Amino acid sequence: MVKYFSSSKNYSYGKTLNMLPNAMELILIDIYRRLVYYIFMGKSDAKESIIKHGAQLVHSRGYNNTGLSDILNAAGVPKGSFYFYFKSKDDFGLALLGYYWEFIQGMINAHFSDKSKPPLKRLENFIDAYQKFFKRIGFRGGCPIGNLMQEMSDLNEDFRAKVGDIYSLMKKGFAGLLDEAHEKGDIPASIDIDSMSQFILNSWEGSIMHMKLTKSDEPLNLFKHIVFEQLLK
């Protein structure tokens, strides 16, 4: 029996509708949680939290192996709120690529713009910084951009295109340092800057992949030895 309003008349709706108050209660609780969340966190903060926590999960588990519920639970965002911020999981994934690139770009700017050091030393310092980071996390995870390139390039054209854009920017950064080194006479004049910068980027990503397999920095050390002691000598 379910009573509604203040009428003295009782309305019996059967077993299914007797569950209605519980269902309505859950809906109202969810609405209330969202309202409180928006008031105290705000839309932009919630979106940032989803991306930040999602980035950590995707980096450790992979994109397709990470569910939206895992991301929302980690971010502390009410379930059902995801689509206020992203049109789809793939829309979120593209935003994730942008987030990863901001981190890499920060590393590039921090090391490549240090004009107090020779260009090749700046490149070496950049690689060393990443090597220390990988060592600190047990040589796990690898490059988040490289991971998504491998996982999604054959499955989603938008992912493939955005990863390609990021790779072009990374290559441009490497090429800029090699140009400087060429002007200073630090590398052989016969080196083709465009080809060498692409080769260094490709080799760097391959070394990171092998690092995940060996769980050591041996592949990274070999990469540095070949690049700095042979290719650029």
Query: 100-149, pLDDT tens digit by residue?
Result: 999 999 999 999 999 999 999 999 999 999 999 999 999 999 999 999 99
For the chain, give the percent of residues with pLDDT over 90: 73
- Work out the mean pLDDT of the chain and round it to a whole number: 84
Q: How many CA atoms lie within 13 A of 69 on its CB side?
A: 0
Query: 3-class DSSP state for residue 2?
Result: strand
Output the pLDDT for position 124.
Answer: 96
Q: pLDDT band at residue 44, thresholds of 50, 70 and 90?
A: low
56 assigned to some structural domain:
no
Output the pLDDT for position 40.
Answer: 46
> Is 31 or 162 the better-scoring residue by pLDDT?
162
220 assigned to some structural domain:
yes
27 assigned to some structural domain:
no
71 assigned to some structural domain:
no
Q: How many domains does the chain have?
A: 1
Phi, psi of 11 (to 5 degrees): -120, 120
5 assigned to some structural domain:
no
CA 122 → CA 165, 211, 232, distances in Å? 23, 22, 14
171 assigned to some structural domain:
yes
| Mean predicted confidence (pLDDT) in 169-186 | 96
> Residue 47 above 60 pLDDT?
yes
**Element containing residue 36 per DSSP (H, E):** helix 20-40
For the ranges 39-53, 73-87, 214-228, the maximum mean pLDDT occurs at 214-228
Which residues on neighbouring strands pair with residue 2, listed in sequence order? 11
Which range marks the domain in which residue 135 is found? Answer: 87-231
CA 135 → CA 67, 129, 138, distances in Å? 28, 10, 5
| Mean predicted confidence (pLDDT) in 227-232 | 96
24 assigned to some structural domain:
no
CATH of the domain at 176: 1.10.357.10
Q: pLDDT band at residue 37, thresholds of 50, 70 and 90?
A: very low
49 assigned to some structural domain:
no
> Is 34 or 122 the better-scoring residue by pLDDT?
122
